[in-house]
Amino acid sequence: MAHPKAQRCPCCGYAAVIPSTRPGRVVRYRNAALILPAELRLPACQRCKYERLGLDTLPPDLLESLYRDNLQKRVAVAIARLQGIRSLRRTELLMNLSQGYLSRLKAGDGVPGAPLVSLLAILAAHPQLLSELEGYWTMPPDL
């Protein structure tokens, strides 16, 4: 199997940029830091170890898939924490969500939006805010 011809590195100028794999690469996508799969081959300099991890060098389908998986895992953790504090149905009513929606998300069925994941994470970390939120919606609006 022939190795691809190495390109010149934009960082050190050495002609040693070839596709390579390694674990632990992280890229920022939307509002999340995503861990790239270890088997993903990306151009890297063999001399100075420079890797271009820009969004233009990564497959958009892969990034979107990793982002959706990230949201699903995060929402499942937040829902599991909230479930120990109050019933999911009461939480759904409080947040005006469809009946069974949180259970579906916890099971990995469906992709939540980032704002919902953020809100659930905050409520799971600070459960006392559930009471404040409940009080907020029972009071008339201040004009």
pLDDT in tens, 63-111: 999 999 999 999 999 999 999 999 999 999 999 999 999 999 999 999 9
How is the chain split into domains, by residue range? 1-55, 64-138
**Least confident interval from 12-16, 18-22, 105-109, 123-127:** 12-16
pLDDT of residue 77: 97
Among residues 96, 90, 102, 103, which one has the least CA distance to residue 130?
90
pLDDT of residue 11: 87
Confidence of residue 14 (pLDDT cuts 50, 70, 90): confident
Whether the per-residue pLDDT at 4 is higher than 80: the answer is no
Contacts of 115 (CB under 8 A, 6+ apart): none
> What percent of the chain is predicted at pLDDT more than 90?
76
Q: What is the mean pLDDT of residues 38-44?
A: 92
Q: What is the mean pLDDT of residues 23-38?
A: 94
pLDDT of residue 107: 95
pLDDT of residue 7: 84
Model pTM score: 0.84
Domain 1-55 has what CATH class? alpha beta
Contacts of 67 (CB under 8 A, 6+ apart): 29, 30, 32, 34
DSSP assignment of the chain: -PPPPPBPPTTT--S-EEEE--S--EEEETTEEEEPPTT--EEEETTT--B---TTTS-HHHHHHHHHHHHHHHHHHHHHHHHTTS-HHHHHHHTTPPTTHHHHHHTT-S---HHHHHHHHHHHH-THHHHHHHHHHHSPPP-
Confidence of residue 2 (pLDDT cuts 50, 70, 90): low
